[in-house]
Chain A
């Protein structure tokens, strides 16, 4: 792997550009390099691995042991890239992606806008694999913007990348496998969370006993069951939690909730929120890829074919960015997407990848069960009352409700121009999903009809100074 830290050292044209260096991107880049293709692997992180394997190459043995085998195996997946001819560009944001044929581009060439170390560069690729992964589904409750409130994913990233544990009291709030995994990892390293406040709607498990048995027979199922048992033995659990609100004063946080209709509260130092993950679609949307609503996962996802084909012939999407399926599935789908892309441009024979197909099918077993148990209900997916709907512009949900009662708003884009919702630095990443749900609820229409903010490049803020330093390739090229 050829680690580059200067945009000027990139080639002007690659056979394959892979965006994102999590499991899907790692697999895609590996397949391309093994086929002898020129490949760029561009990623926001400082090392390959994505969020799932964040920090794995630097982690001491004790941390690897505590985080578990699924984390530790990232080490080998990343090390397998070492000997390959991959141009790897870390700490790089892809702020634009123009598909072939758009804006005067040739039909068979895609153009990427990159930003790194205060400069920018445009490069082209014959094919692109988007492996942009997932982000945590926003959990917009009253108090979610306060200091000492983070996502559970953030807590886990701090653990993986810096070995950080909560030093005082912590409470884990929400729903989904990550909450239990993080609790188990904290316990193994000596931190005992004060409580888990589980917002999973009651009765989800018992409603599908057959599904549950099928799921428990899978690897994920066995792992999950073990985690649940280990955590429940040591951490108090409150189930069916609703009406969550967090307040903060000089001495810490107060978490308030309702449980079977009774008001409860506790004092804590750190609140970690989680209600699952959703595809990270910013770049796919800005590139104009067709997006559809996935009712089972209650999230938008790109429309993709079996080998990750998007609605643009030059762009394929693999991993969680194409729909949440986890790291194992991402490794397989990254391989499949890259192989198909290379076959299109004659760099690999057109051939099925039975090994990857099998691993993908195995990884997808049990996914439907997880979706049915853990997908949060609509009211938990949008901000309500005093909760900030838009963190950046600090717009409360009840302010939006009042506006929506006063004037007709056709959709997210009009709401944005009325309120600035979605116009702050995060560019709608934190408020967008909730805004679509709010409009759907208010208008009594399905979310897929409401749609989403129209995204355009740059999908991440780029300064004028960075654009002014639009790099030309090195003369030596």
Chain B
């Protein structure tokens, strides 16, 4: 869905999404890194189980919530991606024991 418009200025940052190896650029937010890697499903909603993707990219909409290094409900658009970070899609709460609330 997205591609880079310029060449990288430094070595890639490696992270995982649901266990899959991904690369990002230093300075990317987690959300930008996921979108650059083709991820369109960041989380499933607690009410209807619908897939959601980052929407506003500025911390307003909370649709980019993901689990980062085991901690749920992190706003992917506000969190810089770092080397070795483990990012996971956030499933609907039925599958997580209701921890979203």
- List the interface of chain A (C-beta within 8 A of B): 44-46, 51, 55, 58, 60, 62-63, 66, 91, 135-136, 145-151, 153-154, 157-159, 161-168, 189-191, 269-270, 280, 391-394, 424-426, 429-430, 461, 463
- List the interface of chain B (C-beta within 8 A of A): 1-7, 9, 25, 27-29, 32-33, 35-36, 40-41, 45, 47-48, 50-63, 65, 73, 77-78, 80
Cα A162 to Cα B25 in complex, Å, equals 8
One of B5, B50, B61 near A429 (C-beta < 8 A): B61
Check if A145 sits within 8 Å of B29, measured CB to CB.
Answer: no
Q: Which residue of A lies closest to B26 (CB)?
A: A58
Check if A166 sits within 8 Å of B2, measured CB to CB.
Answer: yes
Check if B73 sits within 8 Å of A425, measured CB to CB.
Answer: yes
Given A165-B3, A425-B73, 20 more A-B residue pairs with CB atoms under 8 Å apart are A44-B78, A55-B27, A63-B6, A136-B60, A145-B63, A150-B55, A151-B56, A151-B57, A154-B56, A157-B58, A157-B77, A161-B29, A164-B5, A164-B32, A166-B2, A190-B5, A270-B2, A391-B63, A426-B60, A429-B61
One of A136, A148, A394 near B40 (C-beta < 8 A): A148
Check if B41 sits within 8 Å of A147, measured CB to CB.
Answer: yes
The 3 lowest CB-CB distance pairs between A and B, nearest first, are A154-B57, A147-B53, A162-B32
Distance between A112 CB and nearest chain B CB, rounded to angstroms = 18
One of B4, B40, B48 near A147 (C-beta < 8 A): B40
Check if A135 sits within 8 Å of B41, measured CB to CB.
Answer: no
Total A-B residue pairs with C-beta atoms closer than 8 Å?
A: 126
Residues of B within 8 A of A91 (CB): 78
Check if A150 sits within 8 Å of B62, measured CB to CB.
Answer: no
Beyond A164-B2, A164-B5, A394-B47, is A426–B61 a contact (Cβ under 8 Å)?
yes
CB<8 Å pairs between A and B, sample of 29: A46-B80, A51-B58, A58-B27, A60-B9, A63-B5, A63-B6, A136-B60, A147-B52, A148-B53, A149-B53, A151-B55, A154-B56, A158-B32, A158-B57, A162-B25, A162-B28, A163-B6, A164-B4, A164-B32, A164-B35, A166-B1, A167-B2, A168-B1, A392-B47, A392-B62, A394-B47, A425-B73, A426-B60, A426-B61
